[in-house]
A and B are shown apart, each in its own frame.
Chain A
Amino acid sequence: MQFLQQTINGITIGSFYALVALGYTMVYGVLKMINFAHGGMFMWGAYIGLTVTTGLVALVGYASPWALVPTLIAVMVAVAGIGVLVERVAYRPLRTAGRLAPLISALGMAFILESLARNVYGASWKTYLPGLVPGGRVALLGNVRISVMQVLVLLVSFLLMALLYLFVYRTRVGTAMRAVAQDHEVSRLMGIDVDRIIATVFLIGPGLGGMAGLIVGTYYGSFDFTLGWSFGLRAFIAAILGGIGNIPGAMLGGMLLGIVETFAAGYISPQWKDVIAYVILIFILIFRPTGLLGERVAEKL
């Protein structure tokens, strides 16, 4: 019984990692660059969501889960805007500058986004208003419970992954993205506007990240400006584990990391959770250095 509950706990944590990991993987797939600022964008999703929901609730006078629908749109648009801006200001000028400079630029952006959030919203813990999150729990098999919110999070995660997959593999823009992922120069010769494709990637990746921020923020109810690091780092590792650049891989890596962490914390001790989880991950990477699904390097995205 406890095993089943722990599995549900693990899948929930894992789906958050997976949602954030999608953003890392998309950018890496196209630019071969690790966008460390992704965690910061994710965190801004939580903050912007807080502002929008607070404003909406003040406007209509009561809190309802329906407020999350317009909030979600606002957050995705706003964070996608941040993403495009960051790309334009901090990454595009460095695109031909080798691998190290954009990496440092990304780390710098991560610090800037974090400090901005702290200075704008303050350092204290922020809490979403109660009543925004659909309540209720479903009892499966006796004491094992899954909350409506957990089911929603899982559904949204899988739906998004499927949509993203279809977008990348079944649309013209997606095909262009895969072309850019393989070779910028040849893509340009084929008439693809590489800058625009990359800007699109920075529209979708951070948009998804912002959405993940809103979901994590409302699910746990409280957060502070360090949110980006704690989830961002884990999600980054999940992306590597699944095979960075690979969309189903990000999902798989996130789930696996969440479940391993949960079992380590639940059956051994939370103090040893990270040691156990990362020893296992290192072993996986020793045997599969490109990650679990990161085999076909040429077709990556």
Chain B
Amino acid sequence: MMRKLLLIAFALILIVPVLSGCKREAGPIKIGVQLPLTGDFAYEGQGMLKSIQLLVDQTNAAGGILGRKVEIFVEDDAGDPGQSSQVAQKLVDAGVIAVIGAYNSSATEPASVIYNEAGILHITPSSTATRLTEKGFKRFFRVCFLDDRQGLFAAKFMKEVMGVQKIGILHDNSTYAQGLAEHTKRYAEQLGLTVAFYDAINPADKDFTPILTRIGGAGLDAVYFTGYHAQGGLLLKQTGDLGLKIQWIMGNACNNPELIQIAGVENAAGTFVTTEPLPKDVNTPEARKYVEDFKARYGEEPASVWWMMAAEAFNVIRYAIEQTKSTDPGVLAEFLHTQAKNIPGITGTIIGWDEKGDRLGTIHVAYVINEKGEFILYPQQPSP
């Protein structure tokens, strides 16, 4: 009797892996999503997740990719580098073939190392720090554009459109903000502008009046802030409270309606923001469809370009799988590097990627905040 039971148990042990092996073949395509769903960047992270969810559901409703359903595995990194490594490991253990994320460069950096070691296709929708693609990771891509491009754009905008001479640059010591600040400084100096003030705030602070008082006394024509919108909003509010006249320009992490809510409309009006265009200002059929579908499902407009970029990241993965008829991350990465040219993207045509995984071209524009507290595409833009 005992022997019989053992035999049955043994047989089961042999059969189970075979069965589950069969299941894996026909099972869903597993895609990981790593975003800050809590913490400072939760607003962005939640919106990006909604975007991805929208496209995944649309894809599955239309029969999936290559006849297989898509299943997403969502992990929250809270924008924190430490938590990022932990959740990246969880996604690797879950057996995903590709990951969309993270939001901020500080969180993307440690995760990219783990995904690279695991051989997973890793696409960040929004991390623009230059050094992320300097590590030689063959399966790391971005659908956003480098800080380097934005720095050049900001410098040109200040010189050609605003016509200013003596500028200041303020960052917040995060990977992203410091990178953008350094590039802007380099290009501004190349264009002949004087960078008379260059410093950083501590983003954990609430009160920036000490540094604002100093900036106000420095006689600058314009100040470029490269940090995030929560601090950007407080900077604008406290500039107003102190009665200072500072012409602010802010980077793309301030491209968010919450900036104006935090600052108050009267303090935000007249501020420039350099950024990728808002979803509603992108004039392609794909973009309009995305905005319409998003509104229909969630009852709100996609509020920031990063939500759209998250959808774009999924779009690229889907496109690559469809074109290559493969879910092997190596094949997909090779395809994106060499063959993917002029893809009809949600954020405009994707010209392609260079050997480092950086998206070619740029779509940056300058917005101005008007008296009603709306981001308006500024009529004048610098030469391309």
Contact = CB atoms under 8 A, between A and B. Distances in A.
Contacts of A223: 206
B25 interface: no
A105 interface: no
B6 interface: no
B42 A123 contact: yes
B43 A270 contact: no
B92 interface: no
A6 B206 contact: no
A45 to B, nearest CB: 15
Contact of A123 (B39, B202, B208, B213): B39
A221 B267 CA distance: 13
A96 interface: no
Interface in A208-222: 216, 220-222
Interface in A265-297: 265-267, 269-271, 273-274
Nearest to B260: A127
B262 interface: yes
Interface residues of A, number: 40
A220 B258 CA distance: 14
Contacts of B265: 130
B209 A12 contact: yes
Nearest to A145: B243
A266 B216 CA distance: 11
Contacts of B201: 270-271
Interface string A73-84: 000000000000
Q: Size class of B's contact patch?
A: 35 or more
A137 interface: yes
Interface in B302-325: none
B243 A124 contact: no
Given A9-B209, A12-B207, A123 B200 contact: no
B199 A125 contact: no
Interface in B281-312: none
A269 B199 contact: yes
B217 interface: yes
Contact of B258 (A12, A125, A271): A125
Contacts of B15: none
Interface string B21-49: 00000000000000001111011001000
Contacts of A137: 241, 243
A125 B211 contact: no
21 contacts: A2-B213, A118-B38, A123-B43, A124-B258, A127-B258, A130-B265, A145-B242, A220-B206, A220-B237, A221-B237, A221-B264, A222-B234, A222-B262, A226-B40, A226-B204, A261-B210, A266-B213, A270-B199, A270-B202, A270-B205, A273-B210
Interface of B: 37-40, 42-43, 46, 173, 199-202, 204-211, 213-214, 217, 230, 233-234, 237, 241-243, 258, 261-262, 264-265
Closest 5 CB pairs of A and B: A123-B42, A266-B210, A265-B210, A9-B209, A222-B262
